[in-house]
Amino acid sequence: MKTNLIALLSGVIFGIGLFLSQMINPNKVLNFLDIAGHFDPSLIFVMVGALSVAMVSFKWIRKLSVPLFGDNFQLAKKTIIDRPLIIGGCVFGVGWGMTGYCPGPVVAGLGLFSVESVVMVVAICVGFFAYNALFERNN
């Protein structure tokens, strides 16, 4: 129960952050990526704001052996730089640059009644299913 409430509240704060920073606005994201044209460096400041909080807090959280409410910490275990990481990052970047959307703003965009967000959520989920059909069956 407590962890569910935290998840909801954490989502609400994340959504407000995406709204306020205007990361939810795909044209602003595209202008950030458009270094040769309408360059708008604002989104660097989103990263700076998020990381200046999270780098400090994560340093302290890493000292805990269990989270305050949950059973255990579930962090990514892989540490090697492999081909899927680099190829996946590049493929993701192409989609990001084509649309101006990454997954957080797509979901939050549903709260703006954005039709694009609906299209994007479906397309992203199709991408998930394609990945799972191709790779997860073999594991």
Site for another protein in 42-71 (CB under 8 A): 42-55, 57-58, 61-62, 64, 66-71
Largest CA distance in the chain: 49
The answer to the question of residue 137 lying near another protein (CB under 8 A) is no
How far is residue 23's CA from residue 29's CA, in Å, rounded to a whole number?
6
Q: Shortest approach of another protein to residue 138 CB, angstroms?
A: 14
| 128 φ/ψ angles, rounded to the nearest 5 degrees | -60, -50
The answer to the question of residue 81 lying near another protein (CB under 8 A) is yes
- Residue the block writes with tokens 């962890």: 3
The answer to the question of residue 78 lying near another protein (CB under 8 A) is yes
Considering beta carbons, is residue 22 or 138 the nearer one to another protein?
A: 22
Site for another protein in 82-111 (CB under 8 A): 84-104, 106-111
| Residue 35 burial (CB count, 10 A) | 9
